[in-house]
Amino acid sequence: MRRNIVAGNWKMNKLFSDADDLVNAIAEELRSYDTSDVDVIVCPPFPYLELVSDVSEDGDFFTGAQNVSKFENGAYTGEVSATMLKSLGVDYCIVGHSERRKYFKETNQDIAQKIDRLLNEDITPIMCVGESLDERESGRYLEVIRTQIEEGIFHLSADDMQRCIIAYEPVWAIGTGHTATKEQAQEVHAFIRNLIREKYNDDVAQEVSILYGGSCNPTNAKELFAMEDIDGGLIGGASLKHKDFIEIASSF
């Protein structure tokens, strides 16, 4: 059965000493909460992965990366491979975040390749999908999500599909303070789960955790996570404050 998950995406924030303070504060804060029914994941920038991975060994959380190369290894200056991530103790990796789609022109085909690289290394992909404001307002949002899912992840076998996490992140909600309502989020989560059911079967659909991301905070997390098809959150801004992040993680 699918797990509850809260993953913090630090994006391109924090200097090394601040990252050190933050990850240790998260580990400390987690000691006073019962988070047995949730997997907590911390996704720092690449240079801090080893630090976070070291602290996570004695802490009640996992280490995630924010991106991975679609290539295996070799002459790809500036890239970081799935094998490298594995060697640092990384267990999860975000792929296809809307900021990567927008600023780095990542396509659904790139994302599919990245997912394959990660699964080869036994790293769990957290695949992001989501529509723009224009796509929502014109009523095309479900079709956009369908294409992202079909082209990005539906090449997988049923076994591999069950090893993945999907994050629904409406672009208009990311970093804007405009959270999707619980009904808006639930509609898309149920739609995604149904796509998985139609492509594979109900067992697979019930196995895949589907996270919500977009201005999730300690005030709105509880009502979002209470929805039937929302299995947790991918948290940006609020993951940079350890108390807010852990409060969100204990909102189930």
Q: Which is nearer to ligand PEP, 48 or 168 (CB)?
A: 168
Which residue in the list 135, 169, 242, 247 is annotated as catalytic? 169
Q: Is 213 in the site for ligand PEP (CB under 6 A)?
A: yes
**Beta strand residue intervals within 19-164, DSSP E:** 39-43, 62-65, 92-95, 124-129
Taking CB under 6 A as the criterion, the residue among 81, 113, 148, 215 binding ligand PEP is 215
What is the DSSP-derived secondary structure letter of residue 172?
G
The residue among 44 and 237 lying less far from ligand PEP, judged by its C-beta, is: 237
- The single residue among 39, 106, 169, 247 that binds ligand PEP, judged by CB under 6 A, is 169
Distance CA 146, CA 217 (A): 27
Angle ∠(168,43,212) on CA atoms, nearest 5: 15
For position 174 contacting ligand PEP by CB under 6 A, the verdict is: yes
Structure tokens of 38? Answer: 């949730």
List binders of ligand PEP among 9-68 (CB under 6 A). Answer: 9
Instruction: Give the range of 32-40, 155-163, 198-206, 209-217 binding ligand PEP by CB under 6 A.
Output: 209-217
Residue 131 designated active-site: no
Size of the site for ligand PEP (CB under 6 A): 13
> 202-233 burial, b if ≥16 CB within 10 A, otherwise e?
eebbebbbbbbbbbbbbebbeebbebebbbbb
Which listed residue (107, 147, 158, 175) binds ligand PEP by CB under 6 A?
A: 175
Query: Applying CB under 6 A, does 236 fall inside the site for ligand PEP?
Result: yes
Please report whether residue 234 would count as binding ligand PEP according to CB under 6 A: yes
Return d(Cα 56, Cα 48) in angstroms, integer: 12
Q: Distances in Å between the alpha carbon of 158 and those of 147, 154, 204, 220?
A: 18, 9, 7, 33
- As a whole number of angstroms, the distance between CA 141 and CA 132 comes to 8
Contact between 170 and ligand PEP (CB under 6 A)?
no
Q: What are phi and psi of 61, to 5 degrees?
A: -155, 170
Complex with ligand PEP: residue 125 or 236, whichever CB lies closer: 236
Catalytic-residue membership of 169 = yes
Nearer to ligand PEP, 200 or 212 (CB): 212
Per annotation, catalytic residue among 97, 99, 189, 242? 97
Distance between first and last Cα of the chain: 16
Closest by alpha carbon to 192, among 249, 135, 251, 127? Answer: 127
Q: How far is the CB of 197 from ligand PEP (least distance, A)?
A: 26
Q: Is residue 237 a contact residue for ligand PEP (CB under 6 A)?
A: yes
- Residues near ligand PEP (CB under 6 A): 9, 169, 174-175, 213-216, 234-238
Residues that are catalytic: 97, 169
